Structures are given as C-alpha cells and as structure tokens.
Amino acid sequence: MFNTVSDLDSGQRLLVRIDINAPVENGHAQDNRRFERHAESIRTLLEDGHAVAVMAHQGRPGRDTFISLESHADILGDHLSQDVEFVPDTFGEDALEATEALESGEVLLLENVRMCEDELPEKEPETHAGSEFVQTLAPKFDAYVNDAYSAAHRAHASLVGFPLVMDAYAGPVMEAEYTANSAIQDREFEGPVTMVLGGTKAEDLIPVIERVDDTVDRFCLGGIVGELFLRAAGHDVGYDVEETEFFDHQWDDHANTIESILETYGDRLTLAADLAYEGDDGERAETAVEGLEKDTSYLDVGTESAETYADLVRESDAVFVKGALGVFEDERFATGTVTVLEAIAETDCFSVVGGGDTSRAIGMYGLDEDDFGHVSIAGGAYVRALTGEPLVGIDVLETAAAA
Ligand SMILES: Nc1ncnc2c1ncn2[C@@H]1O[C@H](COP(=O)(O)OP(=O)(O)O)[C@@H](O)[C@H]1O
Ligand SMILES: O=C(OP(=O)(O)O)[C@H](O)COP(=O)(O)O
C-alpha cells in the first residue's frame, strides 16, 4: 500500500501532481469535474498549512488541445475561492523563484508539464528520476504528492520520476479513485455485463476488449473506436477528414488487433447500424452504415443504434462506460451518449461512468450522479484497473512506501 497525505506532518512544502486535462474551446480550458475534485484536495492541503506547487498536463504535443495552463489556474482558483498563481515555466529560473517564494497556505500552478522535454515519452521510473527536470525540482520540496489517478497509467516523469527521489504520498483523489475502482474489480455480477466504449482514445480501449473477455458479455461501440471497428468491418468510415487526426495513426498502429478482435469476439461486439453527421442545412442528419462516405465526419451514433444500446443496457446487471458515443458537447450530437446514460440512470444496474470528458456529460444533460454506481474522473486508468492491469504511477508510490 502507499502512504497518504494523512501521514504528512503539517506545514510542508509540497510538489503536487494533479490531472486537470480538460476540453478546450477557443484556446481555453473548459471546466470539468476534475477541477472540482482537485480543488477539494488542494483545499485540504492548504488548510493543513502546506505550501502547494501544482504540476499538471494538458493535451498532447501537436494537438489543438495542447495549450498553456493559464486558463486552468483561473478555473482552479474559482473552485478554491482563492488565487492560484500561474507560473509560465516548468522547472527553469522563473519556476524555482516562484516556488521558493511560496508560503504556507498558498498555491501556484506550474506550466503544462508536457511542455518540458523530460516529461515524455514513457520511460522506466529510474530513467525519469535521473532527468534534469526531476533532479532540479525535487530538492526544492519536502515531499511529493501524486493525486492524478486518471494519469497513473502513464510512465511520465512527473508521475513516476519523483517518488524515487523524495518522500512520496497519494493524494485524496488518488486514494478515493483507487479504493472505488479496486472494489469494482472484485465484484461479481449475476446477469449480463455490458461495456460501452467510445471517445477518441481507441488505443487505450482496444486492449481492454481482449483482457475483459471473461467478465464482459457485450461491448457497445461508438466514437472514434466504434468507427475504427466499422472500418475493419468493411464500411467507408474511420478515415481522417480534412484536419482531423483521430483515425489514420490509430488505424496504422492497431488495424491488425482490431481485425483480429472483430474475428474472435465479433459475436459480443455491437457496432453502430447508423451514424449521424452535420447536414448541408447545419442540422443533424443520419445514415445507415451501408451509406457511409469516407470524406464525411461522423459525429455520433445514429438514433437506431442509440436505442439498441439503451435496450442492451436495460437488460444488464452491470454497465461500464468509457468514452462518449459522440460529440455530446454539441447538443445535435449528444443523442447516443445521453440516450445510453439515461437508460443506465433509469435501470437498476450497477454502473460506472468514466473519463474526464464523458463524466462531464452527466452534469451537462441534467442527469443525477446518484443514479450511477460510480462516476470516475478517470478514463483510461479506470478501464485499465478494471482489467487488473497495474497502474505504474501507483506501483511507484507503493515501492516508495515499502522502501
Ligand atoms: N465521432 C466523434 N468524432 C469526434 N469526437 C468524438 C466523437 N465521438 C466522441 N468524441 C469525443 O470524444 C471525447 C471523449 O474522448 P476521450 O478523451 O477519449 O474520453 P474521456 O476523456 O471521457 O476519457 C468527447 O469529448 C467527444 O466530443
Ligand atoms: O484525460 C486523461 O485520460 P482519459 O481521457 O482516459 O480520461 C488523462 O489526463 C491522460 O491523458 P493522456 O491520455 O493524454 O495521457
């Protein structure tokens, strides 16, 4: 087991890793549940008299969502009702000066850690621990706190490097998500178990289908992952159109696995029978999969598919959701995601809804969180935990505690 912040003496200088990776609109972060949960954690730390320097990431280099954390500092500050100083630097002179000046009860947010060359890619914790980034920041603090459960599946420097060179603790969000998701892993269900997979990160979900083959009876697919499976099934969809960067690279890397999963587990996979897109008049339009065209962007599963998925949910004893079935942020393309979430809420089944973006749909469409078993701010990390796969960010905290 790992140490937690309740093991800390008060009044420490803390380096705290959180996950406020958020949707981006017009270059600005949009509030999601991650801010609220992390603000609660930070408030507890500040009340204990700690000085808190926060590290976090946003997007991935090369993507539109790869932006500075300046707007994140404002959102975090609003949730905290306290000023969060934004420092546009990760571990250079400005960052060191700002962290040195930080006093008990104060909080600052360092720049997007993925802008620091040492953060990516995935490496062994020992290698990350020796990086200039870790070696420069670690001595400036009394302890490191990892509260970023939702990023704990990534072997990046800010998540796995620091615990090897300083006292390391799990934060309150990390502890709560770990406890909830570990308990789910051990549950047994009498009736059908359904997994609804969508969103943009197909590469995180493809391996999950094989790993949970003995516990999940059927998968309902949508979003980018669903379109890639439709492509594998021979339909004209799942190709990048204009500026999109979702499909081709994930297809190039995973086409063989997708095709073999379709062959082996095809009877358990429910693919969309129709998809929705933006018609010439700007309204939602739909087509059966037989009529799909390679150069159209499909933004949701169709109404017939949404109803089929909702029927499967109603017959289920447990439902696990990771990723949205469409671009639910735009009301025209929320049908798939919302129809399935409403069916879960109305049904007496055990359910988990995960994903930083997907969990946001619950609040956006007036659903009651109490109608779901667990709403996780983690996506990829929660489905990985569900399959019994270790999370490297937690492993290093446990190793640190045992040392
Ligand atoms: N067909 C689609 N085309 C583009 N984006 C999609 C599509 N379907 C779903 N999405 C987007 O996927 C996002 C969620 O993806 P992802 O980041 O993988 O999930 P999460 O953050 O919930 O784990 C949603 O914000 C939604 O807009
Ligand atoms: O948003 C995240 O994961 P999620 O979309 O699976 O919930 C985490 O911040 C990890 O981000 P990454 O998938 O760019 O490494």
Give the residue ranges of the annotated binding site for (2R)-3-phosphoglycerate: 34, 114, 154
75 Cβ contact list (under 8 Å, min separation 6): 20, 22, 29, 31, 35
What atom of ligand 2 comes closest to residue 380's alpha carbon? Answer: 6
Per mean pLDDT, which range of 27-36, 92-101, 183-192, 371-380 is the poorest? Answer: 183-192
The whole-number average pLDDT for the span 15-32 is: 95
What DSSP character marks residue 114?
A: G
Indicate the pTM of the whole model. 0.91
Give the SS3 label for residue 297. Answer: coil
Do 190 and 88 lie in a common domain? no
CB count within 10 Å of CB 46 equals 18
Give the residue ranges of the annotated binding site for ATP: 329, 355-358
Of 395, 372, 402, 401, the C-alpha closest to 126 is 395
pLDDT band, very low/low/confident/very high, at 109 (cuts 50, 70, 90)? very high
201, 249, 223, 332 alpha-carbon torsion, rounded to 10°: 110
Asked if pLDDT for residue 132 goes beyond 80, the answer is yes
d(CA 111, CA 102): 16
Q: What is the ipTM of this complex?
A: 0.95
Q: What domain count does the chain have? A: 2
Asked if pLDDT for residue 163 goes beyond 90, the answer is yes
Q: What is the pLDDT of residues 335-362, one digit of tens each?
A: 999 999 999 999 999 999 998 888 889 9
Answer yes or no: is the C-beta of 198 below 6 A from any ligand 1 atom.
Answer: yes
The DSSP bridge partners found for residue 277 are: 285
CATH of residue 370's domain is: 3.40.50.1260
The whole-number average pLDDT for the span 68-86 is: 98
Asked if pLDDT for residue 183 goes beyond 90, the answer is no
Task: Tell me the C-alpha to C-alpha distance, in Å, between residue 51 and each of 5, 26, 146, 256.
Answer: 13, 32, 15, 50
d(CA 388, CA 286): 38
d(CA 142, CA 146): 14
Q: What is the pLDDT of residues 270-301, one digit of tens each?
A: 999 999 999 999 999 999 999 999 999 999 99
45 Cβ contact list (under 8 Å, min separation 6): 5, 14, 16, 52, 145, 171
The DSSP bridge partners found for residue 352 are: 320, 374
Please report the pLDDT score of residue 242 as a whole number: 85
Q: Are 133 and 119 in contact (CB under 8 A)?
A: yes
Do 146 and 210 lie in a common domain? no
Strands (E), 74-137: 85-87, 107-110
d(CA 147, CA 159): 9
Do 118 and 142 lie in a common domain? yes
Do 212 and 281 lie in a common domain? yes
Do 251 and 380 lie in a common domain? yes
d(CA 294, CA 243): 14
Do 210 and 71 lie in a common domain? no
Residue that the structure tokens 């969309």 belong to: 272
Strand pairing of 107-110 and 51-55? parallel
Whole-number Å distance, alpha carbon 240 to ligand 1 midpoint, is 15
d(CA 52, CA 256): 46
Answer yes or no: is the C-beta of 223 below 6 A from any ligand 1 atom.
Answer: yes
Whole-number Å distance, alpha carbon 364 to ligand 1 midpoint, is 15
Strands (E), 137-267: 143-146, 168-170, 193-197, 218-221
Asked if pLDDT for residue 171 goes beyond 90, the answer is yes
Whole-number Å distance, alpha carbon 9 to ligand 1 midpoint, is 41
Name the closest ligand to CA 56. Answer: 2
Nearest CA, atom 27, ligand 1: 327
Do 111 and 193 lie in a common domain? no
Asked if pLDDT for residue 47 goes beyond 80, the answer is yes
Structural domain including 368 reads 183-387
Name the closest ligand to CA 200. Answer: 1
**Paired tokens of 9:** 């003496």
pLDDT band, very low/low/confident/very high, at 128 (cuts 50, 70, 90)? very high
Do 244 and 355 lie in a common domain? yes
Do 156 and 109 lie in a common domain? yes
Do 317 and 206 lie in a common domain? yes
Answer yes or no: is the C-beta of 171 below 6 A from any ligand 1 atom.
Answer: no
The DSSP bridge partners found for residue 387 are: none
The whole-number average pLDDT for the span 310-332 is: 97
Do 154 and 238 lie in a common domain? no
Do 106 and 58 lie in a common domain? yes
Q: What is the pLDDT of residues 209-246, one digit of tens each?
A: 988 878 899 999 999 999 999 999 999 999 999 888 89
Give the residue ranges of the annotated binding site: 19-21, 34, 57-60, 114, 154, 329, 355-358
pLDDT band, very low/low/confident/very high, at 186 (cuts 50, 70, 90)? confident
What lines the ligand 2 site, CB under 6 Å?
19, 21, 60, 150-151, 154, 201, 204, 355-356, 378-380
Mean pLDDT of the chain: 96
Nearest CA, atom 23, ligand 1: 355
